[in-house]
A and B are shown apart, each in its own frame.
Chain A
Amino acid sequence: MQRFINDPDDIVDETVIGFVRAHPERVRQDENNPRVVISKHAPVKGKVGIVTGGGAGHEPAFMGYVGKNMVDAVAVGELFSSPTAKSFKDAILAADGGAGVAVLYGNYAGDNMNVKMAKKMAKKDGVVIQTVVANDDVCSAPIEEKEKRRGVAGEIFMWKIGSAKAAQGASLDEVCQSAQKAIDNCRSVGVGLGPCTLPAVGHPNFEIKPGTMEVGIGHHGEPGILVAELGSANEIADQMVKIVLDDHNLAQGSEVVVLVSGLGATAVNEQYVLYARMQEQITVRGLKIHKAFVGNYFTSLEMVGVTLTILAVDDELKQLLDMPTDCPGF
């Protein structure tokens, strides 16, 4: 595949520079740490700070969700690799408005370690920190081992809801409770049709044979629960809705918010083809769709594939989700 590359080693630094130059009215780069992107509005005195972070390659996540009534600061790692503890710490300090900081991130070994260390470091600076760890990826572990599941596109709802709660002036405890409720109410599944390549490695990091698909694929190409024959869009949509809702176990009449995200190299129109069928399938099961998002919200370099996330909402979550925001990702 042909790429727009200068030096593979510089790709993340150049990504962040481009991002900050493109959105100067919303974000800025930390003066002392180029791997920390901060909202123009942060820190807000007396407001709980919202921090996230993760490896690069998932754009617009994570830094695209920095902005007004959204995330205050983001730590950016190498492609598919956790940010450093220092970057998480610097993001925490940048977001701190004196009311504590909620670090809302995804369940990956590297992120767990680096956040843990950053917490220790930032505590020395007197910042009160709580964490919420996203684990919405249904196929990454059985429900009995839910704490082992990875975080995927559901993280966006966790950020949106936690950030809105913070913007309303809620306490750190309340912000984390709402963010936790959001992720607990979220289930996601991914389907991969084609792999992606880390430019510095130079070859695809996994294989999907022509005519097949990986059901339950992770955000870095982690293998799914089965390799199946490639189905039609409708068949795949049906399978994805079934996997998510079988795990979700929602009562008839429940209201949901639906997010279909491309993984980088799937055309947006194909995502709408999938959504057309998903909407039918979700509705036919007696669920009411409050809102839907379709597009490249959380990608995986140039992977061919999509994720489906279904969030069950109540009045509180609906109100928080509907609060207007201004960030590049939405």
Chain B
Amino acid sequence: MTSFKNAGGGDIIIDVAKIIVENKAYLSEIDGKIGDGDHGVNMAKGFGRAADRLADSDGSLDEAMSVLSDILMSEIGGSMGPLYGMMFADMAECIEGQDDIDAALFLKMLTAGVDGVQEIGGAKLGDKTLLDCLIPAKEAFKASVENGDVFDVSLKILKKSAVIGRDGTIDMIAKIGRAARLGERSRGAVDAGATSCCLILNTLSDGVLKRL
């Protein structure tokens, strides 16, 4: 298949939320090494509430992303609320009203998500943030699509690149956010935001792969 249905795609977001909740302790633990250790707590709170609210819905992917975005922006706050809130809001807007999502539209959606995060957060590639997972994953997906690969293959490349991007943050020095003050001391620890982003992208891709 070259596309999947937007309708019923909301289940993918429920899976994303579940993965975040399952990784609550892990995300807080890695955040505690260079941040203040509440990444897992706050993420699990927001994504967990989204899972609860979406539990009985049979909604589209864009509706589910909008629900998640609203919760993150109106109930979670911190840095992750607006960052992931904008990412999901802009991705939802991109596919709203579309019946079928093919690789080209999925790329457009990812690009909108990256732009949303960059606009609100102002971080750049290499600053040791979730963008260091998100941007390379999106770029790899883009290259694969432009290369004429099938959707399935491009998604697998996206997944792999997200992991490489996440692991690449280990050697980086944080330039923005609370870890930035550590300077050289922030090197050696994986970025918590890049880690949660990697979980989100992988679960999102797995959900699409199952539907292709």
Beta-carbon contact of A113 and B79 below 8 Å? yes
B42 contacts A by Cβ under 8 Å: yes
CB contacts under 8 Å to A, within B160-210, are: 176-178, 181-182, 185
**With contacts A116-B120, A201-B28, A205-B37 known, is A81 near B42, CB below 8 A?**
yes
> How far apart are A241's CB and chain B's nearest CB, in angstroms?
23
CB contacts under 8 Å to B, within A285-306, are: none
B176 neighbours in A (Cβ, 8 Å): 109
**C-alpha spacing A201/B76, complex, angstroms:** 17
Beta-carbon contact of B82 and A117 below 8 Å? yes
What 1/0 mask marks residues of chain A from 79 to 91 whose CB sits below 8 Å from any chain B CB? 1111111110000
A114 neighbours in B (Cβ, 8 Å): 77, 81-82
> How far apart are B183's CB and chain A's nearest CB, in angstroms?
9
B75 contacts A by Cβ under 8 Å: yes
A220 contacts B by Cβ under 8 Å: yes
**With contacts A109-B79, A109-B178, A201-B32 known, is A85 near B73, CB below 8 A?**
yes
Which size bracket describes the interface of A in this complex? 20 to 34
CB contacts under 8 Å to B, within A206-222, are: 218, 220-222
**C-alpha spacing A80/B83, complex, angstroms:** 17
**With contacts A84-B76, A117-B120, A201-B38 known, is A223 near B81, CB below 8 A?**
no
| Shortest Cβ distance from A86 into B: residue | B74
What 1/0 mask marks residues of chain B from 30 to 58 whose CB sits below 8 Å from any chain A CB? 00100011100110010000000000000
Beta-carbon contact of A86 and B38 below 8 Å? no
A198 contacts B by Cβ under 8 Å: yes
Cβ-defined partner of A85 (8 Å) among B82, B178, B181: B82
B79 neighbours in A (Cβ, 8 Å): 82, 109-110, 113
B8 contacts A by Cβ under 8 Å: no
Beta-carbon contact of A110 and B77 below 8 Å? yes
CB contacts under 8 Å to A, within B111-128, are: 120-121
What 1/0 mask marks residues of chain B from 50 to 86 whose CB sits below 8 Å from any chain A CB? 0000000000000000000000011111110111011
> How far apart are A296's CB and chain B's nearest CB, in angstroms?
21
> How far apart are B82's CB and chain A's nearest CB, in angstroms?
4
> How far apart are B89's CB and chain A's nearest CB, in angstroms?
10
**C-alpha spacing A110/B76, complex, angstroms:** 11
| Shortest Cβ distance from B177 into A: residue | A109
Beta-carbon contact of A78 and B37 below 8 Å? no
CB contacts under 8 Å to B, within A73-107, are: 77-87
Give the most central of A78, A85, A113: most B CB within 10 Å.
A113
Cβ-defined partner of B81 (8 Å) among A9, A55, A85, A218: A85
What 1/0 mask marks residues of chain A from 56 to 83 whose CB sits below 8 Å from any chain B CB? 0000000000000000000001111111
**With contacts A78-B77, A84-B73, A222-B178 known, is A113 near B83, CB below 8 A?**
yes
A140 contacts B by Cβ under 8 Å: yes
B121 neighbours in A (Cβ, 8 Å): 109, 113
Beta-carbon contact of A110 and B181 below 8 Å? no
A22 neighbours in B (Cβ, 8 Å): none
A273 contacts B by Cβ under 8 Å: no
Beta-carbon contact of B77 and A80 below 8 Å? no
| Shortest Cβ distance from B29 into A: residue | A201
Beta-carbon contact of B41 and A200 below 8 Å? yes
Beta-carbon contact of B82 and A86 below 8 Å? no
**C-alpha spacing A9/B48, complex, angstroms:** 13
Beta-carbon contact of A223 and B36 below 8 Å? no
**C-alpha spacing A41/B120, complex, angstroms:** 34
Beta-carbon contact of B81 and A84 below 8 Å? yes
Beta-carbon contact of B38 and A113 below 8 Å? no
| Shortest Cβ distance from B40 into A: residue | A201
B81 neighbours in A (Cβ, 8 Å): 82, 84-85, 110, 114
B42 neighbours in A (Cβ, 8 Å): 78, 81
| Shortest Cβ distance from B31 into A: residue | A201
| Shortest Cβ distance from A200 into B: residue | B41
**C-alpha spacing A198/B38, complex, angstroms:** 8
A-B CB proximity, top 4 nearest? A84-B77, A86-B74, A81-B78, A110-B79
23 residue pairs bridging A and B, Cβ less than 8 Å apart: A78-B38, A78-B78, A80-B36, A80-B38, A82-B79, A83-B77, A84-B73, A84-B75, A84-B77, A87-B77, A109-B178, A110-B77, A110-B82, A113-B79, A117-B82, A117-B120, A198-B36, A198-B37, A200-B38, A205-B32, A205-B36, A220-B178, A221-B36
Contacts A78-B77, A81-B42, A223-B182 aside, 9 further interface pairs with beta carbons under 8 A come to: A80-B36, A81-B38, A82-B77, A84-B81, A110-B78, A200-B41, A201-B28, A201-B41, A222-B181
